[in-house]
Amino acid sequence: MAAAGSAVGLGNIWKFPYEVGKGGGAAFLFMYLAFCFILCFPVLVAEISIGRKTQKNAIGAFRALGFPKWSIIGRMGVASGVLILSFYNIVAGWAFGYFVEMIMGNFAISDQFGDFIGLKGINAIKVVGYSLIFMVSTTVIVSKGISGGIERAARTLMPMLVLIIVTLILYSLTLPNAMKGIEFYLVPDFTKINFEVVYTALSHAFFSLSLGMGALITYGSYVSKTDNILSSAAYITLADIGIAFIAGLMIFPFVFSQNIDPQAGAGLVFVTLPKVFATLGPLWGPAIGGLFFLLLSFAALTSTVSLLEVPVSYVVDEHKISRKKAVWLTSGFIFLVGIPSLLSQGASETFTSFISYGASDKAKDFLTLVEDVAINTILPLGGVLITIFTAYVWKTKNLTEEISFGNPNYEGSMVMKFLNFALTIICPIILSGLFVLIMLSKFVGIELF
């Protein structure tokens, strides 16, 4: 439940729809689904198994298996945890801020999204305050230990989130042009696929499943020997894909009925939804709108705790300081790392047009740079290294032995054959090939297609 809570977050409801929008609709969706099942599911199983086998965090785990050099995967994971959380916390702050604006009936925020994230006027205090509240909440939860509360929260809040999304889907279908949105989302136009769509779908699959940085090694260390790793992994994947899928189904009819450009980017959800809530009237608008963004904030919170857990367990292990101190120091540090990203959405010219690299001459903002390093580089690289480690260093026979606890019929099964084949052949080859191409395309500007 906690790992599903980690997987389901802003990635599903904020990032996924706008990536689909930018990536040309259904073509991106299908690419993403294929990557989740074929390339990510094996990595997910491997991470959880390594965690449960060693009962250690992302760095300690590799040492405990006797391969200390491979703890580089965990170290990269710590770096990407810091980087991802530094901007994730800001977007979570926007979501939480929207909860407040919705219950106050301020639907006009939709048209002021640029001012909101650009920290214009009073927004500066608001947005900084919201992300501070968010970071403090994450810190308090992580300092109390992640198991109990997060599981309970995920168990009740996720079904509520699904319910509200499904209700909104039904409403969206009554609007003019809704079917255009459905068509954009579900009928693939494969001519829209270019290399950028392919790698964005791949990195997004890793990001959305919380993979490639050892977060699930850490979570795996809390899994008991009698639990079935495969069914947990299947549950996590289906919950994640399912919620992303329905989030898309909800957004695109709204986007098309409001004549918004699906390529609008990071503002898509934040611009589209308040306009929808505004049409629900003075009672239901604030109620449903407020509830939606509150649930989204909780979904983000079960993700931020998993992001913070990775660097914290590293600090606790390596520096022998108390968990409480480590948690506050780490989250304070991450908040500081996030400041340039916070200023990069229009508030500071320097950070908004920060650096240009790759094919386009247009300067990218600081937050995009952080995403490119953490999500588009470290996560897929971590994924490749985890598959290579599992297949060629730790060996699939040890993986099989670990999965067999809690799943006595696993050995010799079709699933085992698929996983072993994927981890030994498919994932290392495809992931490392794609990784090299991603680097060439992102940072050097060479595109294959």
Under the rule (CB under 6 A), what is the footprint of ligand TRP?
A: 6-7, 9-12, 84, 207-208, 210, 213, 215, 303, 306-307
Closest CB to ligand TRP among residues 208, 297: 208
Closest CB to ligand TRP among residues 244, 278: 244
Q: Least separation, in Å, of the C-beta of 302 and ligand TRP?
A: 8
Q: Least separation, in Å, of the C-beta of 83 and ligand TRP?
A: 10
Question: From CA 175, how far away is CA 170, in angstroms rounded?
Answer: 10
Which of 45, 50, 15 is closest to 32 using CA atoms? 15
Closest CB to ligand TRP among residues 383, 406: 383
Question: From CA 99, how far away is CA 289, in angstroms rounded?
Answer: 7
Amino acid at 258: Q
CA angle 372, 69, 41 (to 5 degrees): 55
User: H-type helices in 322-449, by residue range?
Assistant: 323-343, 349-352, 366-373, 379-388, 396-404, 414-421, 427-439
- DSSP designation for 330: H
Q: Least separation, in Å, of the C-beta of 72 and ligand TRP?
A: 17
Question: From CA 317, how far away is CA 221, in angstroms rounded?
Answer: 15
Q: Least separation, in Å, of the C-beta of 321 and ligand TRP?
A: 23
Closest CB to ligand TRP among residues 97, 214: 214
Q: Least separation, in Å, of the C-beta of 380 and ligand TRP?
A: 11
Q: Least separation, in Å, of the C-beta of 217 and ligand TRP?
A: 11
Q: Least separation, in Å, of the C-beta of 5 and ligand TRP?
A: 9
- DSSP designation for 46: H
The first and second tokens of residue 27, run together, are 């073509």
Closest CB to ligand TRP among residues 11, 285: 11
- DSSP designation for 263: G
The answer to whether residues 53 and 399 touch, using CB atoms and an 8 Å cutoff, is: no
Closest CB to ligand TRP among residues 87, 277: 87
What is the length of the chain? 449
Closest CB to ligand TRP among residues 372, 410: 372
Q: Least separation, in Å, of the C-beta of 157 and ligand TRP?
A: 14
Q: Least separation, in Å, of the C-beta of 304 and ligand TRP?
A: 7
User: Tokens 């939709």 belong to which residue?
Assistant: 110
* SS3 category, 364: strand
Closest CB to ligand TRP among residues 76, 388: 76
Closest CB to ligand TRP among residues 84, 223: 84
The answer to whether residues 277 and 21 touch, using CB atoms and an 8 Å cutoff, is: no
- DSSP designation for 58: T
Which of 230, 274, 220 is closest to 60 using CA atoms? 220
Question: From CA 443, how far away is CA 364, in angstroms rounded?
Answer: 12
The answer to whether residues 153 and 161 touch, using CB atoms and an 8 Å cutoff, is: no
